[in-house]
Chains A and B, each alone.
Chain A
Amino acid sequence: MEILVAGERSPMASQDAVIDVEGLSKSFGEYQALKGLDLRVERGEVHGFLGPNGAGKSTTIRILLGLLHADAGTVRLLGGDPWKDITSLHRRLAYVPGDVSLWPGMTGGEAIDLLGALRGGIDEKRRAELIDRFELDPRKKGRQYSKGNRQKVAIVAALAGDVELLVLDEPTSGLDPLMEAVFQEVVGEAKQRGVTVLLSSHILSEVEALADRISIIRDGKVVETGTLDQLRGHARTGIRAVLERLPDAPDPAAALASAGVLLDVRLEGRKLAADVDSARLTEAMTALAPYGFASLTVAPPSLESLFLSHYDNDDDIRGTR
């Protein structure tokens, strides 16, 4: 399988979308869970699906899996209709739910084999290797597993199959940091094999480490989509500096801000804290250079700040674009 490089895509690639959702709506009684959601996942990419609890991530995923019926909008999955083509599509994908519930009397090993067999087969070598790497005891009964271990059972069952698409809904909830690292490795390897991954999460470091592109969902709608770099381009970079001298003006802070490059300028003695549009970083440095730097830290916007900006300060972000 050809592996496409993540990042900017040609219009050609868009015809090869593994997941293509447009205008998706879904209500449960009075409550509107999805309000015209758009989502595209290209072949071979790891797509981060970010949002807090209750934003509509799981509802979207359940519609993609044909478990819920969409009220409105078009949904294409692997070129098919997820509601109608259940068997043919599900043979090509694997799913890890965020809250795994196992059969109380069935061992983890049995559950892995059952889910694998129902999908149409399992890679024996990979199964053994994954059980080993995740340090899972497959002989325990479902009711004996802790939350993290139940999660591992589902992860092993999903990743041991030969599939084109992995749908992961907050897959690492309950995993300890060591196992989370193993999980990131394993998903990375799947990506190397050319597997497309939809990774829903609210753990930002995980998405930051794995995802090629990211969609941020808020209140039933995708509010932002792009590569991490693109998203960062919209956001501000933080600058912390100790200047060697200050502008010769009655209000030095206002003088620094007057160029319009530096935003949110806070000056405390010669200590400067300010934000800058990531795209205008050079301009900012040029503007500051005359005053000299005793020290300088430039922090690229973390995913966290991006995410928070959408949730705390949504109108403001929209205003700057």
Chain B
Amino acid sequence: MSRTAAAPRTAGGSALTGTRPLLRASLRQEARSFAPWIAAVTALSASSVLAYAFLFPDASDRKALAAAVGGNPALGLIFGPARDLSTTDGFNTWRSLALGGFITALMAIFAVVRASRAQEDSGQAELLASGVLGRSARLAVAVAQASLASLAVGVVSAVVTGLCGAGWADTLLLSATFTVTGLMSAAVAAVAAQLGSDARTASTLAVAVLGCLFVLRGYLDSMDFGDWVSWVTPLGWMERTEPAAGNTWWPLLPGLGLAVVLLVAAFALQARRDFGQGAFAPRPGPARGAVRSPLALAWRLNRGPVLSWTVAFVLLGVVFGNFSTSVTDLLSGNPAAAAVLASGAATPDALVASFLVTILSLAGIIAAISGVQTMLKVRSEELEDRAEPVMAAAVPRSSYLGAHVLLALSGPTAGVLVAGVVTALIAGTAGIGVGVGDVLLQAVATVPAVWTATAVSVAVVGARPQIRLAAWIGVLASFALTLLGPTFKLPDWALGISPFHHVPHVTAAHPDWWGLLWITLVTAAFLAIGLAGFRRRDLAR
């Protein structure tokens, strides 16, 4: 701005000129893309309310639920502390607060990056910027749009959940935490969009911040550090509102404050940078190339994400490992778990073992996310006309897709194994009743399930890429069934839809290894569908 200050300000335009019409046009286009996110959060919250009375009709059922949740501290990593599972609203808070906030946050991040950086990449923004549009208008539109969507998540989920029979006061506060989490994440993304010099870097940056905060929040919640630790992360602030267990509204304020501070920073950065550039200026690269095969190309396109995921898995392993070392303390300190142990229904070793299975399954499901991303990259390469010159060279379709499939399967494999090794080294040497080898073997046994969850995306991208969202079905089903399913008393056949249900407990007396064969056959079928479809279909259609 300072450089142009000397120029006469003729029409009295400000940095925000044109925001309103652009926002209106943009909302008309984008509103539909927010619907699945809003629906997901609403379904999460409303389904808890609907299911609770049905699944846990009386006090003894609810006590059993509290025991099951308390007996598996790994669940705390995702859902946060269970303050009160004896009421509908308490149960809904436990199940939805952290996860609903996370989903809203992802929506806000993608909305901001799409409307700011991605538009700059595609050249659409240039068209807009040449019109009568203030310098900050596009970012303002991106943020406003994400904020409105976050607000919509809050309003829709509150109304629907309330109509389903939840307490209005508790539900309103719970839904307000979704909205505020969305606002904070939109602000994080607004800063990330100024730092990264393209859309992918920007969203990776913002999602990484969110992911780290989420894992840190879960870790701190699950450990016995004392009550104050939940103030460490902004996501912890949301928890401090304690919906259905006191209803404190004011912790939302620091969340809003953080969003405002980040937004001020984002607009300041935006005013200083050049169009299309980020904080890091690109340097000249090599004049000659070493990438000379489809596999090398696939690696080159995905190496950034694969390497950052691998680092993330090292960190995840550290968190899980540390967490495991205190699992016996956590179990004995938990009255519900102690009751289970005292009744002889389970041995401490069995509880520790099922804890390990859960956290490694969680690592596996996260790893499958990276695999699906690799496959979706195939689709975006295709749609952005970069696959075309490659296919016009002497590259058969099977090797083009095959190279990406190989990477989509081996990347997550490396991730799970890295997390497994780190967890094993930390947990196996802590004398909690499991050895290094047990943890490692459990990690290896998890890998085929990761492949199955990822292979769904191979089939989708290969055969029916138009239904892009379907690529996530494997990951979503695994998450919903394996991590959420058991608390819902789903029948065994339903739980068995998730490949992770078939991962053997390696420390059991007679681990059932057959399951891995079945899910590997399913994997093979998905891969075959994907390859056959890719060879048959029109490219970039």
Residues in chain A within 8 A of chain B (CB atoms): 28, 62, 65-69, 86-88, 90-91, 93-95, 97, 99-107, 109-115, 117-120, 137-141, 143-144, 154, 157, 167
Q: Do residues A119 and B291 form an inter-chain contact, with CB atoms below 8 A?
A: no
Q: Do residues B392 and A69 form an inter-chain contact, with CB atoms below 8 A?
A: no
User: Which positions 277-311 of chain B face chain A at CB distance < 8 Å?
Assistant: 282, 284-294, 297, 300-301, 304
From the candidates A68, A87, A110, name the one contacting B289 in the complex (CB within 8 A).
Answer: A110
Q: Do residues A65 and B391 form an inter-chain contact, with CB atoms below 8 A?
A: yes
Q: Do residues B297 and A114 form an inter-chain contact, with CB atoms below 8 A?
A: yes
Please give me the residue from chain A that is nearest to B276 by CB atom. A143
Closest CB in chain B relative to A290 CB, distance in Å: 61
Encoded as 1 (CB less than 8 Å from any A CB) or 0, chain B from 196 to 230 comes to 00100000000000000000000000000000000
Closest CB in chain B relative to A127 CB, distance in Å: 10
Q: Do residues B385 and A112 form an inter-chain contact, with CB atoms below 8 A?
A: no
Q: B389 within 8 Å of A by Cβ?
A: yes
Q: Do residues B538 and A111 form an inter-chain contact, with CB atoms below 8 A?
A: no
Residues of B in contact (CB 8 Å), total 37
From the candidates A106, A110, A119, name the one contacting B394 in the complex (CB within 8 A).
Answer: A119
Q: Do residues B390 and A110 form an inter-chain contact, with CB atoms below 8 A?
A: no
Encoded as 1 (CB less than 8 Å from any A CB) or 0, chain B from 369 to 399 comes to 0000000000000001110111111111100
Total A-B residue contacts, Cβ distance less than 8 Å: 122
Contacts of A105 in B (CB 8 A): 304
Contacts of B292 in A (CB 8 A): 113-114, 117-118
Q: B540 within 8 Å of A by Cβ?
A: yes
> Per DSSP, are chain B's interface residues mostly helix, strand or loop, or mixed?
loop
From the candidates A90, A94, A99, A110, name the one contacting B288 in the complex (CB within 8 A).
Answer: A110
User: Which positions 51-71 of chain B face chain A at CB distance < 8 Å?
Assistant: none
Please give me the residue from chain B that is nearest to A140 by CB atom. B284
Closest CB in chain B relative to A168 CB, distance in Å: 12
Closest CB in chain B relative to A106 CB, distance in Å: 7
Cβ contacts A to B, 25 pairs, < 8 Å: A67-B391, A68-B539, A69-B538, A87-B394, A90-B393, A97-B385, A97-B388, A102-B386, A106-B300, A107-B286, A109-B287, A109-B288, A110-B285, A110-B286, A112-B289, A113-B288, A115-B393, A118-B390, A138-B287, A139-B284, A141-B285, A144-B282, A154-B389, A157-B389, A167-B392
Residues in chain B within 8 A of chain A (CB atoms): 121, 198, 282, 284-294, 297, 300-301, 304, 384-386, 388-397, 536-541
Please give me the residue from chain A that is nearest to B300 by CB atom. A106
CA gap between A97 and B537 in the complex, in Å? 20
Closest CB in chain A relative to B495 CB, distance in Å: 40
Q: Do residues B282 and A111 form an inter-chain contact, with CB atoms below 8 A?
A: no
Closest CB in chain B relative to A89 CB, distance in Å: 8
Please give me the residue from chain A that is nearest to B123 by CB atom. A147
Contacts of A118 in B (CB 8 A): 292-294, 390, 393-395
Q: Do residues B393 and A97 form an inter-chain contact, with CB atoms below 8 A?
A: no
CA gap between A88 and B394 in the complex, in Å? 7
Contacts of B393 in A (CB 8 A): 90, 115, 118-119
CA gap between A93 and B293 in the complex, in Å? 18
B282, B391, B392 pick with most chain A CB within 10 angstroms: B392
From the candidates A67, A113, A141, name the one contacting B539 in the complex (CB within 8 A).
Answer: A67
From the candidates B282, B286, B291, B391, name the one contacting A66 in the complex (CB within 8 A).
Answer: B391
Q: Do residues B395 and A90 form an inter-chain contact, with CB atoms below 8 A?
A: yes
Sort A-B residue pairs by CB-CB distance and give the 9 closest, nearest first. Answer: A110-B289, A113-B289, A117-B292, A118-B393, A107-B285, A95-B392, A139-B284, A109-B287, A90-B394
CA gap between A95 and B391 in the complex, in Å? 10
CA gap between A251 and B292 in the complex, in Å? 75
CA gap between A65 and B385 in the complex, in Å? 14
CA gap between A114 and B121 in the complex, in Å? 23
Please give me the residue from chain A that is nearest to B199 by CB atom. A104
Contacts of A86 in B (CB 8 A): 391, 394-397
Contacts of A112 in B (CB 8 A): 289
Q: Do residues A101 and B284 form an inter-chain contact, with CB atoms below 8 A?
A: no
